[in-house]
Amino acid sequence: MVPHAAPTVILISCGRMSHIVRMKKKNIFRAGGLILVMGLLNPTVAVAADETPTVRIALDLPYAPMEFERPDGSLAGFDIALGDALCRIAELDCRWVVQAWEGIVAGLMARKYDVILSAMAITPERLRRFRIVGPYLQLASAWFVPIASDLDRIEPETLAGHTLGVQRGTVHDRYVTRTYGEIADIKRYRSVMDIQLDLDAHRLDAAFVTRVVGQHMFNSSTARYRTLAPAQPIDQGMGIALRKDEPRLAETFAAALAEFRSRPAYDALIARWIGAEPAGR
């Protein structure tokens, strides 16, 4: 069981959730009984004929077990289940919008969607720029190296001259660039899946990602990679990001999150998707 973290606080707001919209596509998906619509987006939160607000929620795929697409096209993962639960509690009609991480902030600011719920780490910079609801989960980061690698610890002297992989625009990218940018060759990738491809092809010596994501994606079928702790802990509090001009929507999501965290279903959600992740929540 993952230990409890500090009480939820409002740090920013915006909303959406229940269907799915895939940017630049017009496919229609179904997941958990919810229609996932992929198509044109309204620039503001819409209100349906029954007066139920429609909120558009953006996420980046794949980032298992937080969010990923099943073979049938439906979405699954911790963030998906959490978002669906929050929208039910808040009585919001929500739609999921699939957006590449490198453009996810720009899309929010351009009002292509209302909320980002995609394992986004809470940072001082993001707190200044957005309203954030959370943290809703706390996750640790780790280095992943091939089992046969001679790397046994993470220090500047051990990483000098090595090729390191990170996802572009993440806290991992900033940390690795700041700490090892002058001594190692850093490759930046659009997604964790792209990192995995180069790890498997032996084009990377190590990758730095969220621990539970790396375990799920890199070692899903067989244990090919082992983990090494970073020189300093890089734990991430995950938050729901909204624009600054959405205080009421932020309050709605904060209230729904507080309500959901008080229920046994929240612990069940963590047990199902995260397991014994040591970082707490």
Two structure tokens written together for 127? 């707190």
Least confident of 24-28, 61-65, 107-111: 24-28
Q: How much is the mean pLDDT over the chain?
A: 83
- How much is the pTM? 0.75
pLDDT, mean of residues 186-201: 94
| Domain limits, the chain | 9-138+237-273, 141-228
Fold identical between 9-138+237-273 and 141-228? yes
* Cα–Cα distance, 94 to 259 (Å, whole number): 18
- CATH homologous superfamily of 9-138+237-273: Periplasmic binding protein-like II (3.40.190.10)
Sequence-distant (6+) residues with CB within 8 A of 232 are: none
Q: Is the model's pLDDT at 12 over the cut of 90?
A: no
223-259: pLDDT as tens digits: 899 999 887 777 779 999 999 999 999 999 999 999 9
* Cα–Cα distance, 267 to 269 (Å, whole number): 5
Pairing of strands 93-98, 53-59: parallel
pLDDT, mean of residues 30-59: 53
pLDDT of residue 9: 38
CATH architecture type of domain 141-228: 3-Layer(aba) Sandwich (3.40)
Q: Read off the pLDDT band of 209 (50, 70, 90).
A: very high
